[in-house]
Structure 1
Amino acid sequence: MSFSEPPTGAASTPTSASAAPKPASWVFAEDFAPEPPAAAQARLAAAEVGVEPISRGAARLLGVLAKAINAKAVVEIGSGTGVSGLALFSGMAPDGILTSVDVEGEHQSRARQAFKSVGIADRRFRLIQGDALTVLPKLSDGAYDLVLVDADKLEYGEYVDQAVRLLRSGGLLVIDNALWHDLVADPRNEEDATIVIRETLEGVGENENLFSALLPVGDGLLVAVRS
């Protein structure tokens, strides 16, 4: 995967940019599926604590992906206030368990409230407060159906390394903020977070154990299947 200029001669080939959705279509797609009240409330809680939650469209896609693979064991790196957790639960198997890791206890308290508000039993989620790179190595190899990466951008590469280890064959890796506010596609932007995300995407694209696609949903979702 490369973010450099296109090779010589590529200009004669139609690019996907010509088929990119217009702003109005993008908004229509993001708002296509109605957001449940509990998710809307969790989104308000995110604004209160200064957390940027996953977009409505991306949240819906998370639920679809979880449902498509009948996910029973999911790891979420970055709990936020429960917006993404609720999205995952909407598609997970009825007995599925979510393991969610975050350094902020207050955020996890809000996430717990969001889960309880829709009747999700305590036994169905583990909220682990701590540094993800300390917690993740303690989780079992190949035991998870889906891993969502949505925490410290500067650690995305390390999160992906752990996710590949944690996922079973056929499991899904999902990376939020993969377009990072349109900065990843701008070769002139060399901010630390942008560079790390670019390098992470390139690493996923080159990983022989991952089959991936970058989706322009929300702030960008990279989805990869573990071989």
Structure 2
Amino acid sequence: MAAGAGRVGVSAAARALYAAGMSSTDEPAAGPREPQGSRESLAPASQAEAIVNHAEHSISEDAIVAAARERAVDIGAGAVTPAVGALLCVLAKLTDARAVVEVGTGAGVSGLWLLSGMRDDGVLTTIDVEPEHQRIAKQAFSEAGVGPGRTRLISGRAQEVLTRLADETYDLVFIDADPADQPQFVVEGIRLLREGGAVIVHRAALGGRAGDASANDAEVSAVREAARLIAEDERLTPVLIPLGDGLLAAVRG
């Protein structure tokens, strides 16, 4: 896609989120329906794992996003999975996002997905304490043809930066940071949301530990507290999505 086109090259991949359809191993939909129970069924846990695995592998990324993902690995920045990225694109589209805040720039992978779902005149404000991460992300945005006016990269501690952003002026807030900081970021994120906006928290499941009653370390406690803050806010409608390391999403209004 040409530079300055306003949409990065992952839009086609995002449209494939639910377009995986039948794989080559699926049987045609036509024909007589077999009696219920005539096939062996997976145990519920195995079935859920198979569904998530299918979802995680149903998205393809273009060369620009793939290159950004490789750089993320090289610098140890971490990156959302393709399925999580596609969901971010979908949520940005659903909220008609014009102003988005991202906590945790990484190497720009999630930023590229968010930008692909945002309006052509949308601006992504992305915050990271590591200047090197933002330098690498800036490279990814440039390679994708994202104009400089569409991104605002802020180097600093999100705990301090978020407090300087205006109330109820953002369409979407994406939190992808240290789980220990989730409660504070959730409080600030909710404050920033306009009516109809959404807050999305990555790493909300911690590989299943957040739902393990026997797990009570500081990280798990913080993630549970963030979830409680969202669940008890009557302005929000939340859902926990089993993609990546767990996404907790909530819409205001």
Q: TM-score, normalised by structure 2?
A: 0.80
Show the counterpart of 1:224: 250
CA distance in 1, matches of 2:46, 2:197: 29
What are the residue-to-residue correspondences of 1:54-93 with 2, within 5 Å?
54-93=80-119
CA distance in 2, matches of 1:21, 1:156: 30
Show the counterpart of 2:149: 123
Show the counterpart of 1:205: 231
* CA-atom RMSD in angstroms: 1.4
Is 2:81 the counterpart of 1:43? no
Is 2:153 the counterpart of 1:153? no
Deviations 1:130-180 (A, max 9, x none): 000111111111110000011121111110111111110010000001111
CA distance in 1, matches of 2:245, 2:98: 26
Counterpart AA for 2:130: E
> Aligned-pair distance for 1:69?
1.6
Counterpart AA for 2:128: D
CA distance in 1, matches of 2:48, 2:159: 39
Counterpart AA for 1:75: V
Checking the alignment, whether the CA contact within 8 Å between 2:186 and 2:229 is kept in structure 1 is no
**Percent of counterpart pairs with the same letter?**
42
Show the counterpart of 2:25: none
Checking the alignment, whether the CA contact within 8 Å between 1:55 and 1:219 is kept in structure 2 is no
Q: TM-score, normalised by structure 1?
A: 0.89
Show the counterpart of 2:130: 104
> Aligned-pair distance for 1:213?
0.5
Show the counterpart of 1:166: 192
Show the counterpart of 2:139: 113
Deviations 1:57-88 (A, max 9, x none): 11100001101121000000110100100010
Unaligned runs of 5+ in 1: 1-16
What are the residue-to-residue correspondences of 1:182-197 with 2, within 5 Å?
182-197=208-223
Counterpart AA for 2:222: V
Indicate the SS of the match to 1:174: strand
Segment of structure 1 superposing worse, 97-106 or 203-212: 203-212
* Larger Rg, first or second structure (1 or 2): 2
Indicate the SS of the match to 1:222: strand
CA distance in 2, matches of 1:97, 1:20: 41
Segment of structure 1 superposing worse, 30-39 or 166-175: 30-39
CA distance in 2, matches of 1:93, 1:21: 37
Is 2:210 the counterpart of 1:178? no
CA distance in 1, matches of 2:187, 2:142: 32
> Aligned-pair distance for 1:202?
1.6
> Aligned-pair distance for 1:54?
1.0
**Number of aligned residue pairs:** 211
CA distance in 2, matches of 1:168, 1:53: 27
Q: 1:141 aligns with which of 162, 167, 172?
A: 167
Deviations 1:68-112 (A, max 9, x none): 121000000110100100010110001100000000000011110
Checking the alignment, whether the CA contact within 8 Å between 1:65 and 1:91 is kept in structure 2 is yes
CA distance in 2, matches of 1:38, 1:90: 12
> Aligned-pair distance for 1:186?
1.1
Counterpart AA for 1:112: K
Deviations 1:14-53 (A, max 9, x none): xxx9387443332221121211221111111111111221
CA distance in 1, matches of 2:153, 2:95: 23
